[in-house]
Amino acid sequence: MNGGLPNGAAGSTLAARLSGEQRALQWRAMSGVFTVTVAVLLAVLALLVLALGDGRWMTWPRAVPVLGWLAALGGAAFVARWRRQRHTHALSVAALAGTIEREQQLRSGSLRGALEVASSGPLGARAAQDVAARLTNGPLAPNAARAFSKQALIGAGLAVGGLLMVISAARVSPDGLAAVQHPVRAWTGTLLPAMAFERVPTSVPRGMPITLNIVASGRSEVVVSRRAEGEAWRDTTLTVPASGVVPFALGPVRALTLVRVNDGRAPELSAQLVVEDRGWIGDVALRAQYPGYLGRADETLEPVPPLRVPRGTRVHVHVTLRGGAREAFLTNGRDTIALGASTATGKDVVPATGAIVIDRDEQWRWGASATPRADGAVLPPELPDALPFTIIPDMPPSVSIVAPVTDTAIGPTGSVPVIVMAGDDHGVGRIHLQVWREAASGLGTVTRQRIDVAAPGSPLFEGGTTLTLDGRSLEPGDKLHVTAVATDDSPWHQQSQSAEVILRVPTLAEQRAIARAMADSLAAQAQQLAQQERRLQQSTSDASKSRDLQSNSNEQSGGSKSDGAKSQSMTFSAAEKAKQLAREQQQLGARVDSLRQNAKELESRLKNANALDTSLAGRMRDIQKMLRDAMTPEMQKQLEALNKSTDRLSGTEAQQSMQQLSEQQKQMREQLEKSAEMLKRAALEGAMQTLRDDARDLAKAQQQLANQLDGKPRQGQQQAGQQQAGEQGTQQGKPQQGASQDPRSLAEQTKQIEREVESLAKRLQESGAREGATKTREAQPMVNQAAEAMQKAAQQQAQQRAQEQAQQREQQMAQQGQQGQQGQQQAGQQGKPQGQQQGQQGQQGQQGQQGQQGQQGQQGGQQGGQQGQQGQQGGQQGNPGDQARRAADAMDKAAQQLAAARDAQVSEWKGELSDQLDQSINETMQLARQQSDLEQRMRQGQGGQGQPGQQGQQGMQGEQSALQQGVQQAAERLEKAGRTSSLLSQRSQKAMGDAQRRVQQATQAMQQQGQPGGNEQAQNAMKDAAEALNQALSSLVRDREKVNGAQSASGFQEMMEQLKQLAQQQGQLNSQMQGLNMMPGGAKGDQAQQQARVLARQQRSVARDLMDVADADQTGRTDALAREAQTLAQQIERSGIDPNTAARQQQLYRRLLDAGRFLEQDERDDQGPREGKAANGNGSTGRVDGAQSGRAANKFAPPTWNELRGLGPEERRIVIEYFRRLNVSAPQ
């Protein structure tokens, strides 16, 4: 005994507690194993339900449900065994003792050692007793107990989740759940209801299509096998819908047919169809008869879809009725066409025919009856497939107006060519225009005019007519609406209408605004083109100096000495670069030509706006001449030579061509810069001119408004009985007031002119036009004053209208009160005694109304007093008419100031040219003297000393170099002056350029004096330079004289006067030539010959004067006249007078008379669109709008647009000009 316990008692107590703890933990562990096993089993079953759903249990092998159960049970058993083994190891005595030691915080091995030594003796018992005393009461391993409990709870949750998975899977796949619940029935195929047919016929007529309805509930698909007698089995897989009934179309049954249905699991379903003979329709033949307008021959159609025919086709149907079929017909559900039977051609063989007309997309179905059989049964005959006809659509014609392309501004008179393009898939029958006028005032009736264009009868048409504007009474702001209508030649006469084109007559103000904007745009374009030409010239110059133009010449030396080997070749990249430069130059030339056309259009717009006087017209013609001369024939030749040399890869030729092209580009750049400067000045001059006209028209409109406002009747000056009539007259007069007479509109227009005048002043200042800018700024206060006056006029008129409306309301209220009082009195007089009470009530009501009206009258009187005070204040400031008159006066003064600004600016430009010419004349004169002096000193030095001293030579070389710089500066100044006016002739510029070249040669010759003969060459070169300077001086003096007598800055008016004088001189010269035949000896006598030489000198004088005029003529006609006059002078001097020479002189005289008219026309035939010619049936061409006769007919028909299409713009102009002159000169 130790401690009150026997030796073995302590050990047994400790072992018992440990054994009890082990049993408790084992129970909890087994609970967790069970729940996890159940969870695994349910999860696997849920996956099996989903896997077997949607009929997959039928398509998969039969053993899948059974194998699924085995897999689920096996998995659960495996999990249970695995979990149990783990718990058995964890709950062994040694493992449990270790767990208790850790949880009771005992020394490791103390519990296990106590158990081992508890029965060994007193000491072991004592040790076991000590260990047992240290153990706590209750569970020895509470953490382990909680862990096992937690695992059991988790397992239970998993089991519940597995159960929910099974339930969810059953809802998604009920057939899968059934297969899992009944794996044996799923194995045998008895799980679903048996398959069946719905109403299977025992026998069917031969050829009748049959459809079988198969009941296969619960299945996703079935396999249908069929076999006609004598054929092989054919399988068809059908998808079963949710209803469980799937149709199967057998088609026409022509023999005994067996049908089997199998779902892969259930017993097979089968049926047998027996065929009986019946009549049928065979030998179907179709023949199409097309509509006559198509021009197509009849043809046979195959009776198989698709059947596509044009609308209106008549289809003839031929069939054969066999086997007792009769009374055949075709129907489309709306119409029924019976087929007429013919005489039978054999036993049960009857032909039948019919015809149907196809006019829409439709399907014609067959129908027929049958002869009854002997037993009285009637089998429907076998019918062919339906005939689905599809109409080949007859598209409506397409039509468009190709000229004018968009809405276009027109004049009130003249004509507008309208070009129409139309097409149809078969033929265009007729084309006409619909034209109607929309008045700017919105008044008047709309009358649509039809203008027939053509009736081509062909699929394509391109032509037009001329829309005459004369007689339409078009006013500014009116619009002509033009549409083209095309009708095809089908029986249905389909029509199409083109997009509408509006031809609008712009107002003068709009035309001026368009001209100002266009002039500014053209000036900017010209400046841009000049800059691009400068860059292109630099690129060409750099490319001509590139080393890539030449390759190693050694490559050529070893080859054959052909013609191509004589010049060095160029690289391919250099050739491509040169070609690119040529293309860019061609494109730039095309843009310059387009700029010239736009400049011509600008001149036309200025003319339509009445802003083109002789000065501005001359400037515009100068601009067009420079733009025409910019792309010279020499440059075109150089471009062609450059392209040829690059094609041959000839570096030397390409280098020469590019050097020469660079010089031509320099000339073109100078022309463009001059054009840009003149366009800039023309834009400024045109802006001042058009703004002046706008201000003048606005002043007239303001004056008309003032007169209208002063003449309007006022209510305060009329009696009460005339107020209503005055009001009606005022109201009737308001609609007659146009938009231009509205003070508010005129005020807005005045503000707009104020802004434009301010902008013009800034532009003039930026352009260096000092006089114009100063004068324009002086017009600004006047325009501002007009704007303020018009604003006040608009406000005062609004106040007057408000007063008039208030007075009208007062009058209406007073009239209503009087009418109410009179009506009340009449009611009192006509009332009966029993209505006296009502009369009293009426009097009371009348008194109340009169009291209210009296109060309203007092309020109206107060308002009238206030308005009277406002009217007095307005009268002190002036009525609207006075303000409008002040605005008109100020605007008229502004217009006069703008006119003065334009005149001052033109005078300034002319003065600048005069100053520059004076300076150039003085400098050239001084330079000529210095050159002559140097030449004399050079000769004196040569005659006295043999050679001048070295120091003297160096001094003269320095003087010659300084003289060359002076000549260069004078030439540059002269070139700058020539950019602004045509009064500086091309002859002067050429003479100055020649003098500059001669002076440069003299300078080079002086630098080579040391060489043999150098002194003599220098002296001759200096003499030539002095003579060239004197010739330039003479030409400049003549130009200065022309400037002194010129009345415009352009010189156009002076050129016209000179042409008239030269025409008179030529006429007098012709008269004198005719008088030579009257002299003794006739035209071949000595006296006549002597007089002929005098007349030849006079003819040569006329030629020289024409050469002077030719400098200002941009058409080149005057130059041709000068050459003709020079040729005549030589002919007269050489061989005297003869009939041929006299005839040529008369022709020259007539051409001089017509020169002014030709210049004014300015190639009018090259403007505007051409008229297209419509193609007719026989291939000939003619005018669409009819032939001309009488004086309007041309003796020589000019070429059509199609014939001129391959030519360039300049070539077309020359050809048209030739035929125009030819027809003018033709005898009438």
Cα separations (Å) of 973 from 917, 919, 969, 977?
A: 9, 9, 6, 6
The predicted structure's pLDDT at residue 740: 44
User: Which pLDDT belongs to residue 848?
Assistant: 44
Q: Which SS3 state, helix, strand or coil, does residue 690 take?
A: helix
For residue 618, pLDDT over 80 is answered with: no
pLDDT band (50, 70, 90) for residue 924: confident
The distance from CA 74 to its chain's CA centroid, rounded to whole angstroms, is 78
CA distances to 434, 462, 499, 609, 1161 from 502, in Å:
12, 21, 10, 20, 28
**Confidence tier at 1158 by pLDDT (50, 70, 90):** low
Q: Rounded distance, CA 513 to CA 505, Å?
A: 14
> Reading across the β-sheet that carries 280-289, which strands appear in turn?
299-301, 280-289, 313-322, 349-358, 340-341
**518 neighbors 609 (Cβ within 8 angstroms):** no
Q: Say which residue, 178 or 557, is predicted with more confidence.
A: 178
Please list, residue by residue across 965-999, b when 16 or more beta carbons sit within 10 angstroms of its beta carbon and e when fewer do: ebbeebbebbbebbbbbbbbbebbbebbebbbebb
Dist. CA 1058–CA 1063, nearest whole Å: 8
* Distance separating alpha carbons of residues 98 and 117, to the nearest angstrom: 16
Give me the pLDDT at residue 1154, please: 67
H-helix segments, 632-769: 633-647, 651-711, 723-733, 743-766
CA neighbor of 564 nearest in space, from 501, 671, 627, 653? 653
Determine the Cα–Cα distance for residues 175 and 59; give it in Å rounded to an integer. Answer: 13
pLDDT exceeds cutoff 80 at 1147 = no
Instruction: Say what the pLDDT of residue 964 is.
Output: 84
What residues have CB less than 8 Å from 391, skipping those under 6 apart?
Answer: 308, 309, 310, 311, 358, 359, 360, 361
Q: What is the pLDDT of residue 1111?
A: 57
The token pair that represents 726 in the structure block: 């005055």
Where is 389: in which H helix or E strand? Answer: strand 387-392
- Mean pLDDT, residues 593-614 taken together: 76
Burial-class residue 720 by CB neighbours within 10 Å (0-12, 13-18, 19+): exposed
Q: Is the pLDDT of residue 1160 over 60?
A: no
pTM for this one?
0.47
Comparing CA positions, the residue from 605, 623, 614 lying closest to residue 525 is 623
Is the preceding peptide bond at 306 cis, omega within 30 degrees of 0? yes
398-506: same fold as 280-392?
yes
How far is the C-alpha of 355 from the C-alpha of 287, rounded, in Å? 9
Reported for 31-34, long-range contacts at CB under 8 A and 24+ positions apart, including other chains, are: 31/148, 31/152, 31/155, 32/83, 32/148, 32/151, 32/152, 32/154, 32/155, 33/80, 33/83, 33/84, 33/87, 33/155, 34/80, 34/155
Which pLDDT value is given to residue 1228? Answer: 39
Residue 98 pLDDT: 76
Please state the rounded mean pLDDT for residues 126-147. Answer: 75
Confidence of residue 1121 (pLDDT cuts 50, 70, 90): confident
Token pair 């007075």 is found at: 807
Q: Which of 55-64, 215-224, 1102-1111 has the highest mean pLDDT?
A: 215-224
Domain extents in the chain: 7-185, 193-276, 280-392, 398-506, 511-550+571-680, 1052-1186
* pLDDT tens digits along 1052-1089: 555 666 666 777 777 777 777 766 655 555 555 666 67
Q: Which CATH architecture has domain 280-392?
A: Sandwich (2.60)
| Per-residue pLDDT band at 481 (split at 50, 70, 90) | very high
Confidence of residue 224 (pLDDT cuts 50, 70, 90): very high
Stretch (H or E) spanning 1177: none
Evaluated on CA atoms 1166, 1171, 1175, 1179, the torsion sign reads: negative
Residue type, 626: M
CB neighbours of residue 445 within 10 Å = 6
pLDDT of residue 829: 52
pLDDT at 486: 94
Within a 10 A sphere around the Cβ of 357, how many other Cβ atoms? 12
Does residue 318 register a pLDDT over 90? yes
Beta-bridge mates of residue 227: 258
pLDDT tens digits, one per residue of 324-350: 888 899 999 889 999 888 777 766 788
**pLDDT tens for each residue of 1028-1053:** 888 888 777 877 777 666 555 445 55
Q: Is 316 helix (H, G, I), strand (E, B) or coil?
A: strand
Q: What is the mean pLDDT of residues 1086-1097?
A: 74
Q: Looking at the predicted structure, is the pLDDT value of residue 869 above 70?
A: no
Q: Which of 737, 756, 740, 746 is nearest to 786 (CA)?
A: 746
Cα–Cα nearest to 1163, from 621, 609, 676: 621
- Overall residue count recorded for the chain in this entry: 1228
Which H, E and C letters describe 364-386, residue by residue?
Answer: EEEEEEECCCCCCCCCCCECCCC
Which residue matches tokens 């300078």? 1003
Residues in a beta bridge with 463: 420
Does the domain at 193-276 match CATH 3.40.50.720? Answer given as: no
Residue with the larger pLDDT of the pair 732 and 96: 96
CA 770 to chain centre: 43
What are the Cα distances from residue 183, in Å, to 68, 189, 397, 540, 1090?
Answer: 9, 10, 75, 96, 145
- DSSP H helices in 53-141: 56-59, 64-90, 93-103, 110-117, 122-134
Residue 558: count other Cβ atoms within 10 Å of its Cβ: 7
Q: 211 φ, ψ to 5°?
A: -125, 125
The whole-chain average pLDDT of the chain stands at: 75
At 874 the pLDDT is 44
Task: Fold for 398-506, please state it.
Answer: Immunoglobulin-like (2.60.40)
Structure tokens at 328: 């055949």
- Check whether 487 has a pLDDT greater than 90: yes
Compute the average pLDDT of residues 596-622: 74
Q: Is the model's pLDDT at 942 over the cut of 70? A: no
**238 or 89, higher pLDDT:** 238
For residue range 73-106, list pLDDT tens digits in order. 888 888 888 888 777 777 777 777 778 777 777 7
Q: What is the CA radius of gyration of the chain?
A: 58
- Which pLDDT value is given to residue 240? 87
pLDDT at 1185: 37
Measuring CA to CA, how many Å separate 469 from each of 287, 411, 474, 479, 503? 55, 8, 8, 11, 10
Pairing type for strands 408-409 and 501-504 reads parallel
603: exposed, middle or buried (Cβ count in 10 Å: 0-12, 13-18, 19+): buried
Work out the pLDDT band at 958, boundaries 50, 70, 90: confident
Query: Which pLDDT belongs to residue 547?
Result: 66
Query: Got the DSSP string for 330-361?
Result: EE-SS-EEEPEE----BTTEEEEEEEEEE-SS
What pLDDT score was predicted for residue 201? Answer: 80
Pick the most confident of 83-97, 647-661, 882-896, 1115-1129. 882-896
Which two tokens mark 1087? 């006296």
Question: Is a pLDDT exceeding 70 seen at residue 877?
Answer: no
Angle between helices 651-711 and 770-830 (to 10 degrees): 40
Q: pLDDT tens, 383-427? A: 888 999 998 888 889 999 998 888 888 877 778 899 999 998 888
pLDDT at 821: 67
β strands within 153-263, DSSP E: 196-198, 203-205, 208-215, 221-228, 234-239, 245-253, 257-262
Percent of the chain exceeding pLDDT 70 equals 75
Cα–Cα dist 919/911, whole Å = 12
CA distance 876 to 870: 10
1084 or 976: whose pLDDT is higher? Answer: 976
- pLDDT at residue 430, as a whole number: 92
Neighbour tally for 964: CB within 10 Å: 20
Local structure of residue 1012 (DSSP, 8 states): T
As a whole-number percent, the residues of the chain with pLDDT over 90 amount to: 8
Task: Give, in degrees to the nearest 5, the angle at Cα 610 between 1057 and 528.
Answer: 85
